[in-house]
A and B are shown apart, each in its own frame.
Chain A
């Protein structure tokens, strides 16, 4: 049984057919990339998986369940986390608090136990502490110590992206959706990001769905790639297969050698 599969997905906005006939499956532990020109529907695809958009047709199966039609928070509870293309952080919270939100689904403190947090030994206090410990691990992993207590609104763009990733990891997802994680980063930072993604894949065993325009990165880390254009799949295959596909070349990479241009 496949870990994650999409079948026949379609969605339209008004007259615009944003996605159509999308079908693919992802094996557990894989890094699966989605590429395509701007406006091809990549983010929309993520939004459908997430439950932010309701697809007009199609099936999304995850871990043996049909998750199509679930609310975003229900999807999150099943273990799907994501980052966003335009950063969506909680600007008035510190980095630490942002990541703590990733722990939301694991926390048992409700209204009443929260209200009764009289000191660190109360239920809420203990739980808070335990989860902070988890968050510290993630902070260490992504080297965010320096900005732990800062309001994220004032952090540089690249760091904000890292915080977003950290927040998604805090959810302990089985499937992680990354929407252009490297946009706006320097070459050096991109490389760091590549390694982190690899670590996440290998050490944490998280399956990753990735949207990215930096072809080198995509080629580097993805096991398989899906290319779409105008909401329709062009091809699925390994990095080499995809980058030689004429339609991909024409619509996405440009005719010349992609390596030159994408670095």
Chain B
């Protein structure tokens, strides 16, 4: 994949710290997302990946505690979520969060809430149904009764409806079938090709690093590794813990007693 040169950072997170009440979740993380790039954040369970995105979206009240977030050069930390969204960031939350008692169609409509151009919205409807044909079949079904994967598609589709500048995805491939995982990543690349910047949190490290320009690894609320995704893929530690290479030959008994290694 062609390396994109860093033109100007679309999003810049500087040294943010986030607390959940007394739990210190993000311990000073900085990150720059270049316009037009795909950035992937990897990390273990509980590392704080989702928290970074939530902080960015202004979803955690009174947070970040310290640090600044710049979007297109303007400070957005401490602002209302609605405001941040209107500036052109859209977000696929962890756990889908669809509107359960609205139909699929209405969910998508809500995604386009900030938009005024009716024709564009109609075209985007087509586009989403194109990406995910099964959603078209379920147009009038309540989103709450969709299958897990369908809900995930809906959440992604909904986020795409707003035509964002920056798209933040929290584990988009969660619960999707292999064919769809591929499809999702293909769509992400395609959207990226259309000029949308992508910030991606993924467990599926291989796929994520495959399409990302930059990768970051989060441990315990701090970034422990940053770099072009190629470099990360070649790193032995990353290979062992995130890409699962070493365990290819794994057998019972060996893995069980394996010590959990962490960068600390």
Question: Could you tell me which A residues sit within 8 Å of B by CB distance?
Answer: 13, 16, 35-44, 85-86, 154-159, 180, 183-192, 195, 198, 213, 215, 251-254, 258, 261-263
Q: Is B256 among interface residues, defined by CB-CB distance under 8 A?
A: yes
Since A86-B95, A184-B203 are in contact, a sample of 4 more A-B pairs with Cβ atoms closer than 8 Å, ordered by chain A residue number, is A85-B175, A155-B46, A156-B45, A185-B45
C-beta contact mask, B231-242 vs A, less than 8 Å → 1, else 0?
A: 000000000111
Residue of A nearest to B51 (CB): A156
Q: Which of A42, A158, A187 has the most CB of B within 10 A?
A: A187
Question: Across chains A and B, which 4 residue pairs bring their CB atoms closest together, nearest first?
Answer: A38-B149, A187-B244, A156-B46, A158-B45
CA distance A189 to B205 in the complex (A): 13
Contact assessment for B179 and A37 in the assembled complex, using a CB-CB cutoff below 8 Å: yes
Please give me the residue from chain A that is nearest to B205 by CB atom.
A187
**Are the C-beta atoms of A38 and B147 separated by less than 8 Å?**
yes
- Count of inter-chain pairs, beta carbons less than 8 A: 118
Q: Across the interface, name the chain B residue whose C-beta is closest to A220.
A: B250
With known contacts A184-B171, A187-B247, A213-B175, A85–B148 Cβ distance under 8 A = yes
Residue of B141, B147, B149, B182 near A261 (CB, 8 A) is B182
Known interface pairs A156-B45, A158-B46, A180-B175; A38-B153 also in contact (CB < 8 Å): yes
Is the pair B243, A263 in contact by a Cβ cutoff of 8 Å?
yes
Residues 157-183 of B, flagged 1 when their CB comes within 8 A of A and 0 if not, give: 000000000000001001111111110
* B244 and A188 within 8 A (CB): yes
Q: A189, A252, A263: which contacts B177 (Cβ < 8 A)? A: A252
In the assembled complex, B106 has its CB within 8 A of some CB on chain A: no
**Minimum C-beta distance from B228 to chain A (A):** 21
Query: Which residues of B lie under 8 Å from residue A40 when comparing CB positions?
Result: 147
B242 and A188 within 8 A (CB): yes
Q: How far is the CB of A39 from chain B (nearest CB, A)?
A: 4
Q: Is there contact, CB below 8 Å, between B242 and A36? A: no
Residues of A within 8 A of B244 (CB): 187-188, 190-191, 263
B70-109 residues at the A interface, CB under 8 angstroms = 94-96
B174–A184 contact, CB under 8 A? yes
A95 to B120, CA, bound (A): 48
Query: Which residues from chain A contact B205 at a C-beta distance below 8 Å?
Result: 186-187
CB contact between A36 and one of B134, B177, B203, B255 (< 8 Å): that residue:
B177
* Contact residues in B for A13 (Cβ distance below 8 Å): 145
Closest-CB distance, A145 to chain B (whole angstroms): 13
B206 at the binding interface (Cβ < 8 Å): yes
Q: How far is A39 from B206 in the complex, measured between Cα atoms in Å?
A: 25
Nearest Cβ distance between residue A94 and chain B, in whole angstroms? Answer: 15
Shortest distance from the beta carbon of A41 to any chain B beta carbon, whole Å: 8
CB pair A186 B242 closer than 8 Å: yes
Alpha-carbon separation in the docked complex, A255 to B205 (Å): 21
Partner among A185, A189, A252 whose Cβ is within 8 Å of the Cβ of B178: A252
Q: A187-B205, A213-B177 are in contact. Are A43 and B45 (CB under 8 A)?
A: no
